[in-house]
Structure 1
């Protein structure tokens, strides 16, 4: 059991060293902005006697310094106390200070931030070590990218040209046929009537010739470069189609960048010089090697603070904290509650108010986009309507009209009525029944004469106004 504890301590030490080395200096950094700190006020407390003891010591010196007795006191009272000061639990070097927040005293732990390599124990790597590390990164990256050889080629289209990247094969520039040609949408098909160009080839020497023949001019050049604190792999491909302007073969530089959020894809490609190109490929494969991972952005040291509470006021402190939580919950619930009128949540913009959502126009009012024709109507006890031939032209059947008329007569209860065929703004055919009012018989009669004179065609004047003001929608 003792050996396991020692081994665990060694593993933690190595992990801490790895984390400390992840931050890399950049020329863009503000030297006076470091070290950075982040103050966190936790929902925990510390007994006053324990806080006084820590303040009198003024500083901690690793595991030999007095540590907070939260496991003896605070944990039994506040079960969430183990989520508090990580720096203290880990035995991190630092000091304690007293701080007032809204009139309440707090004990804050300030971690000691030493610059990396301040003790001088880490030697500067030699040139040979750097070369070995770069060689290892190149070999590791080449192994990680071999998985792209079993996948399909990558494609990138811009303007007239389409580019294909086939790992361990070549990079090609061609004009693609329109999508859907010959029933195929993907991958892009090369237009046989337009010349294509090879921008660079992967040369894989045969095993039998690798030892006897010298390296050719088209051999693959691979190296690791760094930009903005991030390493990426560069492969230079040559042996492309001869250039008409320079007389040399086309060549391309392919850069592989780690991007854990994407699948293999071509970011962009451009011509940096005459018949010389550069292509950027984003791939999550390189992210499996820490050498190509982007540096972590967070460099702040956490200053954690807990409220100092006398032993005889711990119960009151807990009650006050519980009351604050209840009040906050009520505030959050009040903010989340919305006013609902007629089944619609006011201000939620679920139906209208956002892009792509618009309020539909009411169907009782005729608009310029709608066409209504009177199919049959009753005026002063006289019933007049279209013939079966006319109904057939309007895609209506006599049976549907008769059934609709029977229901409308029951609803009208002796009043005048009419049935209209309506083409709504969506192109759908609808039947609408309209029952007249008792107050405006004269205006209603004028509207009926206009309908009869136009043979059921919609009138943009009085009839539209009558449908809006003089009639109520029955069905």
Structure 2
């Protein structure tokens, strides 16, 4: 094991290095530099001194190991510049300087010099590959050593009907939990003995129950093509393949993987259930199950977040790419320092007043400006919300009811006047006359009426044709005057007609 620890330093740096440059990086979204304007200034003497040092360092005649260059590399500030304590912004790290003019004001900008990462030029590619493999082996051994801290504890995951438990060095189980009640805690969930449970996978040598249990099918959702291929590639004949644990890399993330078999037999495939368990570094939280899903029939994927892996540099997440700050400070003459300080103080006071005014606006809803989305002022009530401008309710399938508005015309000669029609937003009486004629043709000698109805689909004309009660009654009287046998037949016919009797409805075009 000593050989694993005596590795070149550059491999450790590779495993814990920040995100490396890639041609696929979005430089506009994540630039390498950002320009900031600190609330401080520099004097003209200080700016001239810095620019002179930068020019002398770039000149070919300047020796790289001269005292002047060494002073700049350590971030030393020229003596005699005691006018402003804000000049310490430039201390620390090697920087170059540029003078810029913005809106008539001169600025001195310090640009940090970003050195490329050191590369090992003495090692051959074969040596680098061998050493990297050894380092990954060390990280794998160290990873499982760190995960030993999970032994003896179980973690749970609740997802709808099913609950899941993961017990390190034991098994992964899917079960239905009892609802919380007296004597039944909320956490950890208690398994319902009346509902069949399933073992999704067992660690080698585990003594957990559930092996060879009854057949059953669980329902979890989700699909992961890469994990499905990995699990499907595992043969089901032997158990040794499921016992192999290793470190895997996906992009810039490294995590530990344990593939487990020996689960409850699946009634769809006739094989044992199996699961892939991934252990990811997650700082600042306790061990928890982040996700579990069935990626193929009776094949599962579980992701566990644990801070234990974060104790090894190989499993740490990649560092965030923070842009390098280019700091630009205004250049002020010595005689203008007092005036600049006064203006700066007034500016800070104005900003505080504006912040106080914004805070008061947020507390007073009436004074708060309304947001504008797509050119429309939210809450302005220009389109809807005022009288006559109401958002109509959408149609609900299978819901709503019809609302009777009035009878436009009927067979007894009643017809709405043109003024009444306009109140109902019927501007063309000719349409009403046309529908009346069509309804008269359909009704013949029967009674009819034309109604206006509001429905969930909108406003409709509804034509109703009435049944001829007199003819039915006359037919009934004629049949009842005959013998007893004919009377019974007439009653049966009448009952049948009454059962089918009703209003004929003729639907016209929607209004």
Does residue 39 of structure 1 match 2:35? yes
CA-CA distance at 1:37 after TM superposition: 0.8
Q: Given that residues 93 and 112 in structure 2 are in contact (C-alpha distance below 8 angstroms), is that contact kept between their aligned partners in structure 1?
A: no
Alignment match, 1:224: 247
Provide the alpha-carbon RMSD of the alignment.
3.6
Does residue 180 of structure 1 match 2:203? no
| Map 1:285-304 → 2, pairs under 5 A | 285-304=308-327
Query: 144, 147, 150: which one pairs with 2:149?
Result: 147
Query: 353, 356, 370: which one pairs with 1:333?
Result: 356
- Length-normalised TM-score, structure 1: 0.57
Alignment match, 1:49: 45
Alignment match, 1:346: 364
CA-CA distance at 1:338 after TM superposition: 6.1
Q: Given that residues 239 and 261 in structure 2 are in contact (C-alpha distance below 8 angstroms), is that contact kept between their aligned partners in structure 1?
A: no
Question: Could you tell me how far apart the structure 1 residues matched to 2:30 and 2:188 are?
Answer: 51
**Structure 2: gaps spanning 5 or more residues:** 1-8, 58-63, 208-237, 368-511
Query: 244, 262, 267: which one pairs with 1:239?
Result: 262
Cα deviation code 1:122-146 (max 9, x no counterpart):
8756222122111222222222222
Cα deviation code 1:249-277 (max 9, x no counterpart):
22110011222253222122112222221
| Map 1:49-128 → 2, pairs under 5 A | 49-58=45-54, 60=57, 64-65=68-69, 67=72, 70=77, 72-74=79-81, 76-82=82-88, 84-85=89-90, 89-92=91-94, 94-117=95-118, 126-128=128-130
CA-CA distance at 1:57 after TM superposition: 4.0
| Map 1:310-329 → 2, pairs under 5 A | 310-329=333-352
Alignment match, 1:135: 137
CA-CA distance at 1:199 after TM superposition: 1.3
SS of the aligned residue for 1:137 comes to helix
| Map 1:358-373 → 2, pairs under 5 A | none
Cα deviation code 1:315-343 (max 9, x no counterpart):
3333332333233333333433469xxxx
Alignment match, 1:406: none
Return closer, same or farther for 1:286/1:229 CA change in 2, 3 Å cut-off.
same
CA-CA distance at 1:242 after TM superposition: 2.8
Q: Given that residues 233 and 257 in structure 1 are in contact (C-alpha distance below 8 angstroms), is that contact kept between their aligned partners in structure 2?
A: yes
SS of the aligned residue for 1:43 comes to coil
Return closer, same or farther for 1:271/1:26 CA change in 2, 3 Å cut-off.
farther
Question: Could you tell me how far apart the structure 1 residues matched to 2:16 and 2:108 are?
Answer: 27
SS of the aligned residue for 1:116 comes to coil
CA-CA distance at 1:302 after TM superposition: 1.3
Based on CA coordinates, which of the two structures has the bigger radius of gyration? 2
SS of the aligned residue for 1:44 comes to coil
Q: Given that residues 16 and 316 in structure 2 are in contact (C-alpha distance below 8 angstroms), is that contact kept between their aligned partners in structure 1?
A: no
Cα deviation code 1:142-167 (max 9, x no counterpart):
2222222243x222233432211111
Question: Could you tell me how far apart the structure 1 residues matched to 2:298 and 2:364 are?
Answer: 62
Cα deviation code 1:163-188 (max 9, x no counterpart):
11111111011222223275433322
Alignment match, 2:17: 21
Q: Given that residues 274 and 298 in structure 2 are in contact (C-alpha distance below 8 angstroms), is that contact kept between their aligned partners in structure 1?
A: yes
Question: Could you tell me how far apart the structure 1 residues matched to 2:206 and 2:193 are?
Answer: 31
Q: Given that residues 255 and 280 in structure 1 are in contact (C-alpha distance below 8 angstroms), is that contact kept between their aligned partners in structure 2?
A: yes
SS of the aligned residue for 1:42 comes to coil
Alignment match, 2:192: 191
Question: Could you tell me how far apart the structure 1 residues matched to 2:117 and 2:28 are?
Answer: 16
Return closer, same or farther for 1:26/1:182 CA change in 2, 3 Å cut-off.
farther
Return closer, same or farther for 1:26/1:283 CA change in 2, 3 Å cut-off.
farther
Q: Given that residues 234 and 255 in structure 1 are in contact (C-alpha distance below 8 angstroms), is that contact kept between their aligned partners in structure 2?
A: yes
Question: Could you tell me how far apart the structure 1 residues matched to 2:248 and 2:23 are?
Answer: 17
CA-CA distance at 1:303 after TM superposition: 0.8
Q: Given that residues 270 and 278 in structure 1 are in contact (C-alpha distance below 8 angstroms), is that contact kept between their aligned partners in structure 2?
A: yes
Cα deviation code 1:382-439 (max 9, x no counterpart):
xxxxxxxxxxxxxxxxxxxxxxxxxxxxxxxxxxxxxxxxxxxxxxxxxxxxxxxxxx
SS of the aligned residue for 2:309 comes to helix
Q: Given that residues 160 and 175 in structure 1 are in contact (C-alpha distance below 8 angstroms), is that contact kept between their aligned partners in structure 2?
A: yes
SS of the aligned residue for 1:308 comes to strand
Return closer, same or farther for 1:184/1:337 CA change in 2, 3 Å cut-off.
closer
- Length-normalised TM-score, structure 2: 0.54
Cα deviation code 1:236-258 (max 9, x no counterpart):
11222233333332211001122
Question: Could you tell me how far apart the structure 2 residues matched to 1:119 and 1:232 are?
Answer: 26
Return closer, same or farther for 1:121/1:104 CA change in 2, 3 Å cut-off.
farther
| Map 1:238-317 → 2, pairs under 5 A | 238-317=261-340
SS of the aligned residue for 1:165 comes to strand
CA-CA distance at 1:30 after TM superposition: 3.9
Return closer, same or farther for 1:186/1:318 CA change in 2, 3 Å cut-off.
closer
| Map 1:450-469 → 2, pairs under 5 A | none
